[in-house]
Amino acid sequence: MASVEASSCDGKGQGVETSVTYYRLEEVAKRNSSKEIWLVIHGRVYDVTRFLDEHPGGEEVLLEQAGVDASESFEDVGHSFDAREMLKQYYIGDVHPNDLETENSSKDTSKNNTCKSCWSYWVFPIVGAILLGFLYRYYTSESKSS
Ligand code: HEM
């Protein structure tokens, strides 16, 4: 865990000192039981332990996402504006910048990996269609000659 002082403006032209706490992903990963449950949503770390019983979607889904990046699952559900506002209550800090980089780069590699296999999506159907064409022509010419 690391704390960093950051300055922000309070709207009256006065600077306000706020401190951001950074957590390493390995630290978040340890909080994966119903006794203590943290999760990451869009680079921010949330302690949802006291929310387990209150979550309208049930505690099961939160336990499944315990200690990991739950951004995708959170978005997939299509949480309401109210749900997003609730997040603030459970915010405890940000994911450490070093971990954010590795997170992004690993996502890029997975994108590349899936793209490597992209060609199979169109090559197989085309080869299949050509083969079917040949078979069709072969059988139709056979039936004409007999
Ligand atoms: C701190 C994080 C979360 C908060 C504050 C939160 C809050 C809420 C709220 C307020 C609802 C009621 C519906 C709405 O207003 O959108 C809801 C429903 C739900 N949530 Fe979450 N949620 C969180 C994380 C998650 C995660 C990580 C999942 C993982 C899949 C999840 C799955 C669901 C499901 C399945 C429902 C039920 C949707 C339905 O019945 O249509 N939630 N959540």
Atom 4 (ligand 1): residue with closest C-alpha? 83
- pLDDT classification of 142: cutoffs 50, 70, 90: confident
DSSP state of 67: T
Distance 71 CA to ligand 1 centre (A): 12
Average pLDDT over residues 82-111: 81
Residue type present at position 40: V
Percent of all residues in the chain with a pLDDT value above 90, rounded to a whole number: 61
Distance 133 CA to ligand 1 centre (A): 51
| 44-53, 71-80, 81-90, 104-113, range with the lowest pLDDT | 104-113
> Which residues approach ligand 1 with their CB closer than 6 A?
46, 48, 51, 55-57, 61-62, 65, 70, 73-74, 77, 79-80, 82-83, 86-87, 90
Which residue do the tokens 């990451």 mark?
A: 40
- pLDDT digit string, tens, across residues 50-63: 999 999 999 999 99
Distance 86 CA to ligand 1 centre (A): 10
Report the topology of domain 22-104: Flavocytochrome B2; Chain A, domain 1 (3.10.120)
Average pLDDT over residues 75-101: 95
Domain ranges of the chain: 22-104
Return the pLDDT at 73: 95
Average pLDDT over residues 108-131: 70
* pTM for the full predicted model: 0.70
Q: Inter-axis angle of helices 97-116 and 118-145, to 10 degrees?
A: 10
- pLDDT digit string, tens, across residues 26-41: 999 999 988 999 999 9
Distance 97 CA to ligand 1 centre (A): 27
Determine the atom of ligand 1 nearest the C-alpha atom of 78.
Answer: 16
Average pLDDT over residues 2-10: 50
